[in-house]
A = this chain, B = another copy of it.
Amino acid sequence: MSVEVTLLQKYPLFSDLDETQLCSMAELFQSESFGSGYTIFEEGKPGATIFIVTDGEVEMLFAIGEEGEAKVDRIGIGGIIGCSALVRPYSYNATARCLTQVKVLTTDVSRLRRLFEQEPSMAVMFYEHLIQSLLDRIVNLRLESGK
């Protein structure tokens, strides 16, 4: 398991890390591909893995009420999915399904957390970008609901 450092450098999530930190991070990630229609993870299930979309598009399905009706966000290249696995209660808060063939960079949350414990300053940089991307998602959801 490991990817090229240059692969990580394309994404804002890693843009504040220095060369050494990028190398430690690259060791934890791997590339994966999924076919169109594949369910990457399911809402409510324990979350062990996070994903950065590097190609294709993923829909996020979310059960609303007892009817199980599903509402949709679309996550494209550069989007981080499964990030609810990073925080309590460490489970996925939506279902992710591939709308196209999808490529991702993926890492095991427990290994990432171990690295973050050793180097909390890396966690800070990573989390600041994650917060930024969640705030953007909130703005987009507001724009969507205003349409």
In the complex, which range does the number of interface residues on chain A fall in?
20 to 34
- Contact check, A84 vs B135: say whether CB atoms are below 8 A apart: yes
Q: Which chain A residues (40-80) contact chain B, with CB distance < 8 Å? A: 62, 64-65, 69, 71, 73
Residue A7 is within 8 A (CB to CB) of chain B in the complex: no
- Encoded as 1 (CB less than 8 Å from any B CB) or 0, chain A from 117 to 139 comes to 00011011001111110110111
Residue A96 is within 8 A (CB to CB) of chain B in the complex: no
Residue A145 is within 8 A (CB to CB) of chain B in the complex: yes
- Of B87, B121, B144, the residue contacting A145 (CB under 8 A) is B144
Residue A114 is within 8 A (CB to CB) of chain B in the complex: no
Residues of B within 8 A of A83 (CB): 131, 135
